[in-house]
Structure 1
Amino acid sequence: MAPAARFRSVVLDCPDPLALARFYAQVVGGTPRQDDPDWVVLQVPDGPRLSFQRAPDLTPPQWPRSDRDAQQFHLDFDGGSTWEEMDAAQEKVLALGARVLDAEDREKKDFVVYADPAGHPFCLCRIEHH
């Protein structure tokens, strides 16, 4: 059966679309393109398109929560295959303005949860490369 649609992009609401697009460009690459003050697009090299939409009154998701105000989704990124690579990736995202939400049992879980500068959760995952 043919799909009903093709994937276009993940859209993140945020108070400052260009600032958040620049944050993610430093995390995953690409160059933000702003054709409208309320909308910025970041084409991730060899990856999806991330878009950022102005939402001046955004209330960031709370992590972890299980009630109706819980996070709706989060982004996972490959942080490397070793803990040294993960530590280097963490140093970079923290310098860019991310903050750690959960690093407990990282060796057991193989991921660390962060919040981007607008408060959206994302993970750096340790991925075994084959």
Structure 2
Amino acid sequence: MACRISELVIDAADPERLAEFWSKVLGYVELGREDDGSIEIGPPDAGFGGPQPTLILSPSSDPRAGKLRLHIDVNPTDRDQDAELERLLALGARPADVGQTGTESWHVLADPEGNEFCLLSARLRPL
């Protein structure tokens, strides 16, 4: 038997702001809040344990040191990559430079707190 990813936990200076951003990016909804200020977001109909992992935005005042060793990749589901890039930038993402050459088929972006993620070119079927 194997494991599967059920949750991704992201430290956040402002969990509220990141929860709002990632909810809009992924079409997620708020699933719950903890007394420590953590906010869990996930797919509206499945929630925790569904086919997609939930995200937990956990409050942290620790400064980030350097480039993240793990990042999220996203794919458009209902539009092409260029249109999705425009949407993500309008939501508050910004271009990020992690040493790419400029010939990549993906875009490297950063969320409102500077966490890098990539917008890939392949269009995926929505779940």
C-alpha distance in structure 2 between counterparts of 1:120 and 1:42, whole Å = 17
Alignment of 1:1-130 (within 5 A): 2-3=1-2, 5-36=3-34, 38-44=37-43, 46-59=51-64, 69-79=66-76, 85-102=80-97, 105=102, 108-127=103-122
Q: Give aligned-pair identity as a percent.
A: 29
C-alpha distance in structure 2 between counterparts of 1:128 and 1:41, whole Å = 26
TM-score w.r.t. the length of structure 2 is 0.76
> How many positions carry a matched residue from both structures?
116
One-letter amino acid matched to 1:127:
A
Aligned Cα root-mean-square deviation (Å): 2.6
TM-score w.r.t. the length of structure 1 is 0.75
Higher helix share: 1
One-letter amino acid matched to 1:24:
W
Asked if structure 1 preserves the Cα contact closer than 8 Å seen for 2:76 and 2:124, the reply is no
Higher strand share: 1
Larger relative contact order (CA 8 Å, sep ≥ 6): 2
One-letter amino acid matched to 2:105:
D
Report the secondary structure of 1:25's partner residue. helix
C-alpha distance in structure 2 between counterparts of 1:31 and 1:73, whole Å = 23
Deviation >3 Å, runs of 4+: none
Deviations 1:12-70 (A, max 9, x none): 101111210110111111112342252111113552111110012332x5xxxxxxx43
